[in-house]
Structure 1
């Protein structure tokens, strides 16, 4: 059995529990990949509605290396917020995305990202446009395929000249990474990856050709 995770602060356990709950809202069968070392834990998840990777970090009390994929729901059940610790559930067979993670280094900052208020405003405007266009469809075109087409068109738009797709900002807001108040935000890039970073978590998305700037690592399987 893997030793329990001991968080540096009980609030770290609270924040991780909130993140897992939001992931499960979009996928009740969600899995998360956990990587730990040097006193830090990184939790990777992929909410299917957004086609991005969501990353939440937490500070740990020990430096024990860890790399495992587990059920998000089972992990949430094993978090004891008041004690600041979590018991790791049994590993699961990782989904395909869990074997391809963003690189750990080589990131550079990309200019042109609006402040939080501007990012949230872009999401609000996009949601309003989607509702107006979907609601205005004639009866014979009110299909799931047509609504999906409208959604893909809107959420594939980029934020200015940054190359960051709007769906990544939508994911950041939906997962609690973009609060109503102003916080520092940054856009980072390496290879084919872009990463929207806030104090509450990061959203990573691949924007280039497959095979560029990737970190491919083994996914732990049960047995």
Structure 2
């Protein structure tokens, strides 16, 4: 039997700490952030969408006991509920539009050509440096939010080498702490595809993005 969904008990305190760090980063970008929780069997998946990146961020955690759960809650309230290896599920909130359309659970296949993590971090650093240089070169009369947004869209819509993965997805992965160095015994990052989605998977979390951009495809709500 599955346990009543009031308190989720994670496999250990480290799982809870990693999840809390993820929630904290989401709140850094949006203090009113919501997350969708899906639990099945012994695993919990937490989905969030940091503003401006136009991607979905996914953090998974192992559960100490089997639970079935699907709800959208306040990221801040969920973070405040973390205590030791347990967290209380806050009351459900009206989910933002993105929470109704999630990547598929299965059918993912690995794609070749993803650079190593250090190469991805370098690509993000180069893009950030380019943005700053172009921003500083703008005449005073053109130094507007609209012009800066235009430059940002141009840079972050570029793809990482020939992978088809937009640089904004790699930027999001680094900003959320997903591109940390890993021991040799831990699998490296991988690029996966399923339907109209691409997914950058790392040992610390995943970033999912639709190939034509969020909102550009008609999909069945999850």
Q: TM-score, normalised by structure 1?
A: 0.93
2:27 counterpart of 1:43: no
Partner residue in 2 for 1:21: 24
Please list the CA deviations of residues 105-124 of structure 1 after superposition, one character each: whole Å capped at 9, or x if unmatched. 11111111100000000000
In 2 relative to 1, CA 103–162 (structure 1 residues): closer, same or farther, beyond 3 Å?
same
CA RMSD of aligned residues (A): 1.3
Counterpart in the other structure of 1:85: 86
Query: How far is 1:195 from its partner?
Result: 0.1
8 Å Cα contact 1:102-1:215 kept in structure 2: no
Residue 181 of structure 1, CA deviation: 5.3
1:65: which partner in 2? 68
Does residue 216 in structure 1 map to residue 221 in structure 2?
A: yes
Gaps of 5+ in 2: none
Paired with 1:180 and 1:41, the residues of 2 have a C-alpha distance of 24
Q: Is the 8 A contact 2:36 2:71 kept in 1?
A: yes
Contact 1:31 1:45 in 2 (8 A): yes
- State how far apart, in whole Å, the 2-side matches of 1:76 and 1:122 are: 31
Secondary structure (helix, strand or coil) at the match of 1:23 reads helix
Bigger mean CA deviation after superposition, 174-183 or 121-130: 174-183
Alignment partner, residue 118 of structure 1: 119
Moved over 3 A (4+): 180-183
CA distance in 2, matches of 1:37, 1:113: 30
